[in-house]
Amino acid sequence: MEILLAALLGYALGSIPFGLLLTRAAGKGDVRKIGSGNIGATNVLRTGNKGLAAATLLLDLAKGFAPVFAAWAIWDDPFAAGFAAIGAVLGHCFPIWLKFRGGKGVATCAGVCFGLALPIGLAYALAWIGMLLIWRISSLAGMVAAIAAPVIAFLTGWIVFVPFLIIIALLILYLHRANIARLLAGEEPRIGAR
């Protein structure tokens, strides 16, 4: 029962579409009608408002962190935390409020990783930021970070989280399949490029 509750808590918080809510509140319209059509921070950045994009990033991180942290606090069970993690990412990617069309889960996954264990969160953040600084390609940075998370979980002794993080990484890769095709074709846009 606790696993189901943890997953539902994760989904409920993860499904809050902060990117959409913030852009509408700021008078920027519907973020789903610009750029990639996603509700995440990278697409919010395409509105030209860096502050909104930063706020979206932080709130999407928070909605990944909060349910995992809560699951740890309430049940003190790594499996509950793991299911809360999957629920949060699924909520972001497939929010019921938006007919199951959300973001790609990268920022929410970062929050999840910090909620599961600090070493996993730090590794995720370093991989994400490092790749972003080197290549300036948001999708590539997010995918590399998602792949790094289960590897670091294994190497740092958090083996219980490896299956959960593999599932999340596979989901993120699947949602980035169009980005992967553009990367292979050399057509994926860089941050700041026109």
Average pLDDT over residues 86-115: 97
For the chain, report the end-to-end CA distance as a whole number of angstroms. 50
Residue 66 lies in a domain: yes
Residues 4, 84: Cα–Cα separation, whole Å = 9
**Could you tell me the pTM of the whole model?**
0.95
At residue 157, the pLDDT reads 97
Q: Is residue 170 part of a domain?
A: yes
Q: What are phi and psi of 16, to 5 degrees?
A: -70, 115
Side-chain half-sphere exposure of 148, counting CA atoms within 13 A: 23
pLDDT value, residue 194:
57
Domains held by the chain: number:
1
Burial class (CB in 10 A: 0-12, 13-18, 19+), 152: buried
Domain assignment present for 192? no
Does a structural domain hold residue 116? yes
Longest dimension (CA), the chain: 50
% of the chain at pLDDT higher than 90: 83
* 93 is a domain residue: yes
List alpha helices for 76-117, DSSP H. Answer: 78-93, 106-116
Cβ neighbours for 14, distance < 8 A, ≥ 6 positions apart = 63, 64, 67, 87, 88, 89, 90, 91, 92, 95, 108
Q: Is the pLDDT of residue 113 over 80?
A: yes
What confidence tens digit (pLDDT) does each residue in 126-150 have?
A: 999 999 999 999 999 999 999 999 9
Question: What is the pLDDT averaged over residues 88-104?
Answer: 96
On average, the pLDDT of the chain sits at 94
User: Which residue range(s) make up the domain with 49?
Assistant: 2-185
